[in-house]
Amino acid sequence: MIQRQGYHYRLKTTPALRRSFAQYAGACRFVWNKVLAVNEGRYLAGVPRLNYYQAAWLLTQWRHSEEYGWLAAVSIHALQHCLRDLERAYTTLWAGRTAPPRFRKKFLSDSFRFPTDFQRDGDRLKLPKIGWMRFWQSREIEGTMKNVTIRRDGKHWTVAFQTEREVEPPVHPSTSAVGIDLGIATFAAVSDGTLYPPLHAYRRLQTKLAKAQQRMSRKVKFSKNWQKCQTVIRRIHATIARCRKDFLHKLSTTISKNHAVIVVEDLQIRNMSRSAKGTVEEPGHNVAQKAGLNKAILDQGWGMFRQMLAYKQVWSGGIVLAVNPRYTSQTCPQCGGVSSKNRLQQALFSCIACGYTSHADVNAAQNILALGQRER
Ligand SMILES: [Zn+2]
């Protein structure tokens, strides 16, 4: 079995390196956004989008043109890789797994990737046209390097190595199976009764972010003070992303270590996002309420959590099953009765037919587990 793993380290930078990184990130952002804009134009005109090869051909034209000749200063491989990422974004979009690719913003999504034309020697890394640099190697890298990504993380730059290695198919040390209900009030309720509250630090940061955004709105655009505010906002965004990732990693590791079978809801977050707005013929109900709910869903990174669980289970030899979550919050495990009146209060499940009561989220998690066991 092939195990893929990413290793992330902080880079030791110099002003010259930071200038190079900004140049590379800028060129990749430019290419990404330009091809995306061309494709949106083609979409509106009813013409099929550019595929990877057409976009790569266009890129070569740009590199030889007077207007965009500056693109020739950065490695062609990094730019081509960026087009490949865009191509993949379209493919997963068709598969219904992700939202459409978006325009990249400066600082927020600054990154670039090299396929194979880099060298690594201990804690030293050499990138084409940039040269040697060092990184804080906190742990050993195992496996064969597949690619390397440089990314801006707040005021730092980080390096991520993607590796692959052949491993024996693992056997999960545990035999237990659990269902998980993901929610707003409780981030994750496990069918064995464990409740994981949402990340509160994250809410605090969000308040801080709102305040900083308000402060920025009062400044003169592009003034010194406005730029200072923008730096603060970027840092808060980076902290939020780091906190969320850290929280989700810890939680998914704990659950994955302890249970061989994990049953989750097939959330179809995208469909939920769509249904809030409704269609022209059938406008959505409670649009504002659902928009708030969707924001919270995306905030808490349910999708990211599910992905983490899935790959950690692959590593540990367990599995993740996804079931249709319909009625899981309204079904009574004792008598099998289904009613929307079974859950009149947020935290309490109370069956109107037989009087059975339990914690609403744990009850949902138990129903999810039961569905998973039936499907297996
Ligand atoms: Zn009942």
DSSP string, 53-85: HHHHHHHHHHHHSSSSGGGGGS-HHHHHHHHHH
Contacts of 277 (CB under 8 A, 6+ apart): 284, 287
- 347: Cα within 13 Å, side-chain hemisphere: 5
Handedness of CA 54, 55, 60, 66 (dihedral sign): positive
Asked about 192 being catalytic, the answer comes back as: no
Rounded to two decimals, the pTM is: 0.69
Task: Give pLDDT < 70 ranges for the chain.
Answer: 95-98, 267-300, 376
Asked about 168 being catalytic, the answer comes back as: no
CA–CA distance from 154 to each of 210, 237, 241, 363 (Å)?
18, 8, 10, 41
- Which one is catalytic: 67, 117, 265, 299? 265
**Separation of CA 272 and ligand 1 centre (Å):** 28
Which tens digit of pLDDT belongs to each residue from 189-230?
A: 999 999 999 887 777 888 898 899 899 999 998 899 998 998
Q: Is 329 exposed, middle or buried (0-12, 13-18, 19+ CB in 10 A)?
A: buried
Asked about 246 being catalytic, the answer comes back as: no
**Separation of CA 331 and ligand 1 centre (Å):** 8
Question: Radius of gyration (Cα) for the chain, nearest Å?
Answer: 24
pLDDT of residue 281: 38
SS3 annotation, 284-324: CCCHHHHHHHHHHHHHCCHHHHHHHHHHHHHHHCCEEEEEC
- In the chain, the amino acid numbered 316 is S
**Separation of CA 366 and ligand 1 centre (Å):** 14
**Separation of CA 105 and ligand 1 centre (Å):** 52
- Which one is catalytic: 40, 123, 140, 361? 361
- Which one is catalytic: 40, 110, 164, 181? 181
**Separation of CA 189 and ligand 1 centre (Å):** 20
**Separation of CA 340 and ligand 1 centre (Å):** 12
- In the chain, the amino acid numbered 346 is Q
pLDDT of residue 274: 41
Which tens digit of pLDDT belongs to each residue from 253-293?
A: 999 999 999 999 886 643 454 444 443 434 445 555 555 65
pLDDT of residue 293: 58
